[in-house]
Amino acid sequence: MPTDELLRIENLHAWYGESHILHGIDLTVHKGEVITLLGRNGSGRTTTLKAILGLVGRRTGSIRLSGTEVIDMPTHRIAHVGRLGYCPEERGIFASLNVDENLELPPTLAEGGMSIDDIYTMFPNLKERRSSQGSKLSGGEQQMLAIARILRTGATLLLLDEITEGLAPVILKTLSTVIRDLREQGFTIVLVEQNFHFAAPLADRHYVIEHGRVVEQIDAAELEEKQEQLNRHLSV
């Protein structure tokens, strides 16, 4: 088993109640890679991330995090096993907690996470607002906070869901710099992204998901020649 495989998903099926959402996802993420999950709304990209964390009704197949099978593990253990950091689509900022409390909520998973000072250097806006309630932050600030708080924990594999959604271009630029920084620091990142122009220059590989299956895998290098196929998959 190659040791640099942080995530290997095989034949993953997932259900919410009666509805069968994922129909056999296969994908692999190596240490230090940035990959994206592309696809239309409802294709199962968000569900794939949730299924990794056990946040779906039922899941079958295999999910290995650094070689450990987690398909039958309770949600609260999975983050520890895989050193996972999760940033949900709706950002998940806790309204009843202030910025500092939000930042310190996720438990430490391993040594080597960023210190609060490092985080405030990376996200200076948050520092000014550290005692504000989570509900008082702007969309951009909430997004920064949602990313910042998983950097403190020592997580090495980041699952980021639609981090650009509904944000102004100037904030996208900051986010793009942040992702580049994180990549240089050695983080492994799975991006679920609607905004292809944001994701394309950042990622090593792209998985295209349709109807709960991976239908295409594109390396960054072959992006140009496969552009047409990609457009077909992503066009609404």
Partner 1 sequence: MSIQVILAQALLGLNAGVFYAMLSLGLAVIFGLLNIINFAHGAMYMLGAFIALVGYSYLDQWFGIGLEVGFWPSLILAPLVVGGLGILIERTMLKRLYKLDHIYGLLLTFGITLILQGLFSNYFNVSGTPYPGQPDALSGVVNLGFMYFPTYRLFAIVFSLVVCFTTWYFIEHTKLGSRLRAGVENPQLTQAFGLNVPLMITLTFGFGCGLAGLAGVLAAPIYSVSPLMGADLIIVVFAVVVIGGMGSIMGAILSGLALGLVEGLTKVIYPPAASTVIFFLMVLVLLFRPAGLFGKEK
The answer to whether 34 touches 11, Cβ cutoff 8 Å, is no
Verify binding: residue 92, partner 1, rule CB under 8 A.
Answer: yes
- Please give the structure tokens belonging to residue 105: 């909520």
* Residue 145 identity: L
Residues in 130-159 at the binding interface with partner 1, rule: CB under 8 A: 150, 153
Contact flags string 44-63 toward partner 1, x per CB under 8 A: ---------xxx--------
Work out whether 106 is an interface residue with partner 1 (CB under 8 A).
yes
Q: Is 101 in the site for partner 1 (CB under 8 A)?
A: yes
DSSP 108: P
Q: Which residue has the tokens 């996200």?
A: 123
Decide whether 74 or 169 has the Cβ nearer to partner 1: 74
Applying CB under 8 A, which of residues 80, 130, 183, 213 lies at the interface with partner 1? 80
Does 76 interact with partner 1 (rule: CB under 8 A)? yes
Alpha helices (runs of H) in the chain, residue ranges in sequence order:
45-52, 75-82, 99-104, 116-122, 124-128, 139-151, 169-184, 196-199, 227-234
Please name every residue paired with 209 in a beta bridge, in sequence order, or none if there are none.
214
Contact with partner 1 (CB under 8 A) among 42, 57, 67, 107:
107
Question: CA-to-CA distance for 148 and 134, rounded, in angstroms?
Answer: 13
- Binding residues (CB under 8 A) for partner 1: these are 53-55, 74-80, 84, 86, 88, 92, 94-97, 101, 104-107, 109, 150, 153
